[in-house]
Structure 1
């Protein structure tokens, strides 16, 4: 169950590391990169997140 109040998001699942995107009251969790190195790029349009890009790299 998701609950929204005063800018806080309470989720019924525990997220230890990651990014939580909230758009139109719906949440999506982006986890950590599989190899530990990476970035998430979130593109905004008209004040809302429109899409995201995930990149990761592996240290050699």
Structure 2
């Protein structure tokens, strides 16, 4: 049997390990903001995409 009859060859890639991002929860983190409106100050929490993991929720390990 020659190689043309073996079927498709699988392309193997190296395994890349990853760890959960310690700065966020699932790629989203809350940031406290101070605001002023009508002469009153207050705080609130807004969501933002995590800049450390770019919103993926994990970081590559060992790269």
Check whether TM > 0.5. no
User: Which structure has the larger Rg?
Assistant: 2
- Structure with higher helix content: 2
- Scaled by the length of structure 2, the TM-score of the pair is 0.23
Q: Which structure exhibits the higher relative contact order, with contacts defined as CA atoms closer than 8 Å and separated by 6 or more residues?
A: 2
